[in-house]
């Protein structure tokens, strides 16, 4: 499956010109600039790797064919790939078209037959002239008692022996694209790659025994043995380190520019918090208190807060965010909370409203749906400072939305926003008086290594403990042929007052296919349970989606069938059952997120993971992890271990960076080095103006971190 990576690509802003250095011009040309790549091929290459020459640099071979075995005919073993020098004895054109064309050859030790289906006789006569020596290379087989080679991969004369590649890289393909076509395009891209100035520390390269960039790139595309295909192979490590360094440098630059804007000290007097605490039916957990202490200290300092609040599903981040916002308001400022979707924004709003109002505050909700007079009024009140707290979607950051005094922005990212939104946000906050403090809430407990790639050096508060009274979720894995039992269980549960999520398979890349599966399941359940069943999916208009969710939350619907667009943050305390079809296709992180939807209201939850046998090893291991633990941090680490970061399912929607070469699991050791290196570089050469600094700018462009370069003073 080809999945286009898009790290950093979104960061391009149309209105600003790219200052990409000339030395990279050929690198960023469309793939059609490569010999042999026309528009048809380009479309396939684009689907597979990307639209530009650089995208082929990072399309590394996944296997190789070794043709170095050069036996005599008598030593040749069927089933193996061999390169054999033979003399052509005789051609045997077939009696009819369905039979193969055969060419008998021999050497001093024996005879063998070359076999061709649908052959062109004149072509074969030309490349295999009788009486001449030829070197043929391909897979051998035995047919009856005859040693054969069907359609040799290479046929060359002895004079051309040098042109026969003894070791050939094999690239991942996509339907319609042949190995030969792709290899040719990649090799052309790589051999034309510019000689870039060295951006790595020379002493470090030497110590690590690594080559220069161009040599490493060529070597990565010319593996000589299976070991060269591993992430630990030095050329790959070099390229991975480049990418990680670009990532860390870009994050540091963004962070520095955010930090450069003078922060402000926001100190609350606790009066609003006290009122909200009185209105809360519970008291804060220790983890919540601890995080709040960290946040308070950060907000009170003059510097600008850039903090990540990391906590598992249900760990109670929302109330922590509210308390932080209350401090901003106590200090005389306003606060905003941004959610990735309309549904989540509304839910946050509904949760926060009674509490905010208990403290005597004005809270409003702004989403893309707000239009006309109502929106105008809201915008005016916001500018006048009549609204204290604003909850919304990215609509909060539209040009025309101006705060009187925005002190704190909370971003509930649920893994949906990327660095790109954070940049946008910073632009918005910059316009406000002083730099607003920023807190990002993230629901999946990302492993530390991954957090580093997504957030760089952001300060982190972690909610490691869940509110009391949570019942464990009983998790079971069942083959799909026990669907009948599942339906019985579902029917029992919901008739006794529970509510059921039923998530349909992530079958294909196409949302339409997913939708068809969900609709079919919906139809089936509807026949059994009638009006109690509802459906929600990504293609629905927002209003219908909200209605379905609201109906489910209110109990007008008891069983909610959904595609994977199910809103991870939505809180329905009565939901006790989560059925996930084709659970084997989900990543652990996503399964964990989904499971976190149930068992929230103090009722015991059940999670039924339906799979289609036979289960692969990784899928089985994953389902076992789900049965064994509910600790999100453990699950996240396991996910990383089992799949490798590049494949963490949901990465595509996640906003986590996906790397082209670096593999967070395999190159974890390099990540810390890259962070320290990036820090040191910017300490010594803050504007990247020295020799290494200028080379590092090229590196940033090479990995499309153009936006980060804009944070440097030009030079
Ligand atoms: P998260 O956003 O981290 O997934 P929420 O903030 O939505 O979690 O909280 C999950 C549930 O736990 C909510 O229903 C919330 O009211 C409740 N909750 C939060 N903090 C506490 C606490 N200290 N004690 C009891 N329940 C809590
Ligand atoms: Mg929440």
Which of the listed residues 316, 325, 463 should we mutate to test ligand 1's pocket, taking the one with most ligand atoms within 8 A of CB? 316
Name the residue with the closest Cα to ligand 1, atom 12.
Answer: 316
Ligand 1 contacts CB of residue 322 (under 6 A): no
Q: Which of these, 696, 687, 671, lies nearest to 198 by C-alpha position?
A: 696
Q: What are phi and psi of 44, to 5 degrees?
A: -70, -45
d(CA 606, CA 586): 18
Alpha-carbon 140 to chain mean position:
41
Ligand 1 contacts CB of residue 316 (under 6 A): yes
Give me the average pLDDT of each 10-residue run along the chain (715 residues): 36 49 92 93 92 95 94 94 97 92 96 94 96 96 92 95 92 90 95 96 91 97 94 96 92 77 86 95 95 96 86 88 97 92 86 95 92 91 96 83 90 59 52 71 70 71 84 91 92 88 70 70 92 86 83 91 67 89 82 83 87 86 91 79 50 56 84 91 93 95 83 59
Torsion of CA 708, 712, 714, 715, to 10 degrees: -110
Place of tokens 């192979």: 233
| DSSP, res 157 | -
Provide the CB-side half-sphere exposure for 358 (13 A, CA). 15
Question: What pLDDT is recorded for position 12?
Answer: 37
Q: Is 557 left (phi over 0), alpha (psi -120 to 50) or beta?
A: beta
Ligand 1 contacts CB of residue 418 (under 6 A): no
Ligand 1 contacts CB of residue 300 (under 6 A): no
Torsion of CA 39, 41, 43, 48, to 10 degrees: -160
Residue 317 Cα to ligand 1 middle (Å): 7
Q: Is 401 left (phi over 0), alpha (psi -120 to 50) or beta?
A: beta
Q: What is the pLDDT of residues 375-389, one digit of tens each?
A: 999 999 999 999 999
Ligand 1 contacts CB of residue 315 (under 6 A): yes
- If 0-12 CB within 10 Å is exposed, 13-18 middle and 19+ buried, where does residue 281 land? exposed
Ligand nearest to the CA of 280: 1
C-beta of residue 677 within 8 angstroms of C-beta of residue 24: no
Q: What is the pLDDT of residues 178-230, one digit of tens each?
A: 998 999 999 999 999 999 999 999 999 999 999 999 999 999 999 999 999 99
Name the residue with the closest Cα to ligand 1, atom 19.
Answer: 316
Question: What pLDDT is recorded for position 704?
Answer: 86
d(CA 660, CA 148): 41
Ligand 1 nearest atom to the CA of residue 571, by list position: 7
Q: Is 415 left (phi over 0), alpha (psi -120 to 50) or beta?
A: left
Q: Which residues pair with 364 in a beta bridge?
A: 390
**Does this chain's domain 259-463 share its CATH topology with 473-629?**
yes
d(CA 54, CA 686): 28
Question: What pLDDT is recorded for position 336?
Answer: 94
Ligand 1 nearest atom to the CA of residue 569, by list position: 4
Question: What pLDDT is recorded for position 84?
Answer: 97
Ligand 1 nearest atom to the CA of residue 320, by list position: 6
Alpha-carbon 135 to chain mean position:
46
Question: What is the CATH topology of the domain spanning 259-463?
Answer: Rossmann fold (3.40.50)
Residue 148 Cα to ligand 2 middle (Å): 65
d(CA 73, CA 303): 77
The residue length of the chain stands at: 715
Ligand 1 contacts CB of residue 314 (under 6 A): yes
Name the residue with the closest Cα to ligand 1, atom 24.
Answer: 467
Ligand 1 contacts CB of residue 284 (under 6 A): yes
Residue 296 Cα to ligand 1 middle (Å): 20
Ligand 1 contacts CB of residue 280 (under 6 A): no
Question: What pLDDT is recorded for position 513?
Answer: 61
Q: Which residues pair with 439 in a beta bridge?
A: 307, 410
Ligand 1 contacts CB of residue 319 (under 6 A): yes
* Helix ranges restricted to H, 156-285: 179-191, 202-208, 213-220, 234-260, 271-279
Name the residue with the closest Cα to ligand 1, atom 27.
Answer: 467
Its CATH architecture, for the domain 68-164, is Beta Barrel (2.40)
- If 0-12 CB within 10 Å is exposed, 13-18 middle and 19+ buried, where does residue 178 land? exposed
What is the C-alpha end-to-end distance of the chain, expressed in Å?
42
d(CA 308, CA 295): 10
Ligand 1 nearest atom to the CA of residue 288, by list position: 23
User: What is the reported pTM?
Assistant: 0.66
Ligand 1 contacts CB of residue 311 (under 6 A): yes
Question: What is the CATH topology of the domain spanning 473-629?
Answer: Rossmann fold (3.40.50)
Ligand 1 contacts CB of residue 657 (under 6 A): no
Q: What ranges do the domains of the chain cover?
A: 2-60+173-224, 68-164, 259-463, 473-629
Ligand 1 contacts CB of residue 571 (under 6 A): yes
C-beta of residue 349 within 8 angstroms of C-beta of residue 635: no
What is the DSSP code string of 529-547? HGGGEEEE-TTS-HHHHHH
């Amino acid at each position: 499956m080809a999945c286009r990576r898009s790290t950093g690509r979104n960061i391009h802003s149309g209105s600003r010109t790219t200052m990409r250095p000339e030395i990279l011009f050929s690198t960023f040309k469309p793939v059609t600039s490569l010999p042999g790549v026309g528009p048809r091929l380009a479309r396939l290459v684009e689907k597979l790797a990307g639209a530009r020459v650089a995208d082929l640099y990072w399309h590394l071979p996944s296997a190789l064919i070794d043709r170095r075995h050069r036996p005599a005919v008598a030593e040749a073993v069927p089933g193996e790939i061999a390169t054999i020098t033979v003399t052509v004895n005789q051609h045997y054109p077939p009696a009819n078209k369905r039979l193969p064309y055969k060419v008998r050859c021999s050497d001093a030790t024996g005879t063998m037959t070359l076999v061709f289906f649908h052959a062109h006789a004149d072509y074969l006569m030309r490349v295999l002239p009788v009486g001449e020596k030829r070197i043929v290379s391909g897979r051998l087989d035995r047919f009856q008692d005859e040693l054969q080679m069907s359609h040799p991969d290479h046929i060359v004369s002895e004079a051309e022996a040098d042109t026969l590649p003894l070791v050939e890289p094999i690239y991942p393909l996509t339907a319609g694209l042949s190995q030969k076509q792709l290899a040719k395009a990649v090799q052309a891209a790589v051999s034309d790659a510019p000689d870039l100035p060295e951006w790595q520390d020379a002493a470090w390269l030497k110590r690590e025994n690594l080559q220069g960039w161009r040599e490493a790139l060529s070597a990565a595309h010319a593996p000589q043995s299976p070991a060269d295909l591993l992430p630990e192979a030095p050329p790959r490590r070099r390229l991975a380190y480049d990418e990680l360094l670009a990532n860390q440098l870009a994050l540091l630059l963004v962070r520095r520019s955010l930090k450069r804007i003078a922060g402000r000290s926001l100190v609350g007097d606790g009066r609003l918090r006290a009122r909200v605490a009185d209105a809360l039916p519970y008291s804060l957990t220790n983890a919540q208190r601890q995080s709040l202490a960290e946040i308070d200290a950060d907000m009170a300092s003059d510097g600008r807060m850039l903090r990540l609040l990391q906590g598992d599903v249900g760990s109670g981040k929302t109330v922590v965010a509210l308390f932080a916002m209350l401090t901003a308001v106590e200090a005389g400022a306003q606060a905003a909370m941004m959610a990735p979707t309309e549904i989540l924004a509304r839910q946050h709003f509904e949760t926060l409203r009674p509490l905010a109002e208990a403290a005597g505050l004005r809270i409003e909700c702004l989403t893309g749906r707000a239009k006309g007079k109502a929106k105008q009024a809201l915008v005016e009140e916001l500018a006048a400072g009549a609204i204290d707290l604003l909850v919304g979607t990215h609509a909060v950051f539209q040009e025309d939305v101006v705060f009187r005094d925005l002190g704190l922005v909370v971003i509930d990212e649920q893994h949906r926003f990327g660095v790109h939104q954070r940049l946008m946000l910073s632009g918005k906050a910059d316009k406000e008086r002083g730099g607003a403090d920023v807190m990002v809430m993230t629901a999946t407990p990302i492993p530390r290594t991954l957090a580093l790639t997504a957030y760089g050096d952001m300060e982190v508060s972690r909610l490691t403990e869940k509110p009391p009274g949570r019942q464990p979720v009983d998790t079971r894995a069942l083959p799909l042929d026990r669907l009948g039992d599942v339906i019985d269980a579902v029917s029992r549960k919901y008739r006794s007052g529970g509510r059921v999520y039923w998530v349909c398979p992530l079958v294909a890349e196409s949302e339409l296919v997913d939708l068809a599966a969900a609709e079919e399941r919906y139809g089936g359940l509807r026949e059994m349970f009638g009006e109690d069943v509802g459906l929600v999916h990504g293609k629905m208009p927002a209003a219908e989606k909200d209605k379905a969710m609201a109906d489910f939350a209110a109990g007008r619907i008891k069983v909610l069938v959904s595609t994977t667009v199910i809103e991870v943050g939505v809180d329905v305390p009565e939901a006790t059952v989560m059925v996930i079809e084709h659970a084997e296709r989900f990543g652990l992180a996503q399964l964990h997120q989904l499971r976190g939807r149930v068992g929230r209201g103090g009722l015991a939850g059940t999670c039924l993971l339906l799979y289609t046998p036979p289960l692969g090893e990784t899928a089985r291991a994953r389902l076992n992890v789900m049965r064994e633990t509910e600790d999100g941090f453990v699950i996240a680490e396991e996910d990383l271990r089992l799949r490798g970061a590049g494949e963490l399912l949901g990465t595509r929607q996640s906003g986590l960076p996906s790397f082209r070469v670096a593999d967070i699991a395999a190159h974890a050791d390099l990540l810390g080095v890259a962070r320290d290196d990036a820090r040191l570089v910017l300490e010594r050469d803050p504007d990247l103006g020295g020799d290494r600094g200028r080379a590092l700018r090229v590196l940033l462009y090479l990995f499309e971190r153009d936006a980060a370069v804009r944070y440097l003073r030009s030079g």
